[in-house]
Amino acid sequence: MSETLIFRGTRLLGAESADILVRDGLIADVGTGLSAAGARVIDAAGLVALPGLVDLHTHLREPGYEASETVLTGTRAAAAGGFTAVFAMPNTSPVADSAGVVEQELALGEAAGYATVQPIGAVTVGQKGERLAELGAMATSRARVRVFSDDGFCVWDPLIMRRALEYVKSFDGVIAQHAQDPRLTEGAQMNEGAVSAELGLVGWPAVAEESIIARDVLLAEHVGSRLHVCHLSTAGSVDLIRWAKKRGIAVTAEVTPHHLLLTDELARGYDARFKVNPPLRREEDVLAVREGLADGTIDIVATDHAPHPSESKACEWPAAANGMVGLESALRVVHEAMVETGLLGWADVARVLSTTPARIGSLAGHGTPIAAGQPAELTLYDADARGTFGEGDLRGQGTNSPYLGRPLPGQVRWTVHRGYATLADGEIVEEPNA
């Protein structure tokens, strides 16, 4: 239930000190010395105030794979990480390729109350790449889907990709492509390079990502439609997106926190927590995607939060599932990789983790400025804290985090969604909208 809150002494986007008054689901006022009858006053001195974080790429697994995650547990993880909205990828069972399934996901998110759950619709029926899914029906459903993806699979057929781009143009939708040529990555286990050669593991070459991006930006230019590139991971991909934007092509791109920080050297221990698709790349690629995010070539950071049961990771590398959980750690990793290196300021963090993902996904009420009259979607972050990331920091079902045991800066202290706290002083609020 919404209550009146005053956050005293926050640092707006890491800059000037201000109080934030939240009432009736809105930011009622921003200023100094604020007061309101019956308000709960919270000492937020020095906490960085950001608009609630928005993740354009989350796997919530429900319906069908509740052993890995549910909408409830996944959105609790989101709240712990400062996220007030998540876009749910369609690789569920049944696949989210119809109005009925996306409306079910929307309803599950509303019932949980921890974050706005915006479904992403599949591009093709069953994500099989053979024929277009019910794009129009999903767009006009109560879920109002605007992002479509077969993530986990590439829309490999160029004719189907063209048709999808043409279809969504009519309602300003966007196709989010998992850029992976399937023929070039058959049996791939990790990044193709010196480390894969030493370990004797089949490599996933950079060109398998880059060739699909090159094709799709040209298709998007030809059609005049919007393309979004999921989890970009190579230096060559950054160059391609930079080139496409200079041509005026309507393309956006995301990078994951793990591709901003981790490299393929971590595969040497055969710890399957570091197995992911696309794979961890070389140090040169990490530096290139950081630069691309800093100069605006890459538009956003998206987690690709991918929980798995423990047995799917506690096994030999070739048999292990791809994927990492990332909602709880994302802001802290961006802090280390981008803020502490001087590549981004806190206003930039708000742009790449809130404002722009909400804009790409056409999600109203999120990513808005911290100003009077705006929806009360807020993240309050202690940038001065430091700590070792552990299983106690994980609030979803998945424990397959690559950061366990790693020191990370910062700590999310408060998350406010629709005017009520979902995370209060670092602790998940039970039944937040009760």
Using H for helix, E for strand and C for coil, what is the string for 219-230? Answer: HHHHHCCEEEEC
Greatest alpha-carbon span in the chain = 67
322 is in an annotated binding site: no
Asked if residue 234 lies in contact with residue 258, where contact means CB atoms within 8 angstroms, the answer is: no
Alpha carbon distance 278, 231 (integer Å): 7
| Residue of 336, 373, 379, 331 whose CA lies nearest to 352 | 331
Q: Which two tokens stand for residue 304?
A: 């690709």
Alpha carbon distance 308, 363 (integer Å): 28
91 is in an annotated binding site: yes
335 is in an annotated binding site: no
219 is in an annotated binding site: no
Question: Which residues of 360-424 form beta strands (DSSP E)?
Answer: 378-388, 407-417, 420-424
Give one DSSP letter per residue of 205-263, joined into a string.
Answer: -HHHHHHHHHHHHHHHHHHT-EEEE-S---HHHHHHHHHHHHTT--EEEEE-HHHHH--
29 is in an annotated binding site: no
259 is in an annotated binding site: no
Contacts of 407 (CB under 8 A, 6+ apart): 386, 387, 388, 389
Catalytic annotation, pick one of 29, 97, 304, 348: 304
Q: Which two tokens stand for residue 299?
A: 């538009």
Is 299 marked active-site?
A: no
247 is in an annotated binding site: no
191 is in an annotated binding site: no
40 is in an annotated binding site: no
Can you give the C-alpha Rg of the chain in angstroms? Answer: 21
| Residue of 19, 50, 51 whose CA lies nearest to 36 | 19
Query: DSSP code of 127?
Result: G
Question: Which residues are part of a known binding site for Zn(2+)?
Answer: 57, 59, 151, 178, 231, 304
The set of catalytic residues is: 304
Question: Which residue numbers belong to the known binding site for substrate?
Answer: 59-61, 91, 277, 308
Pick out the residues of the known binding site: 57, 59-61, 91, 151, 178, 231, 277, 304, 308
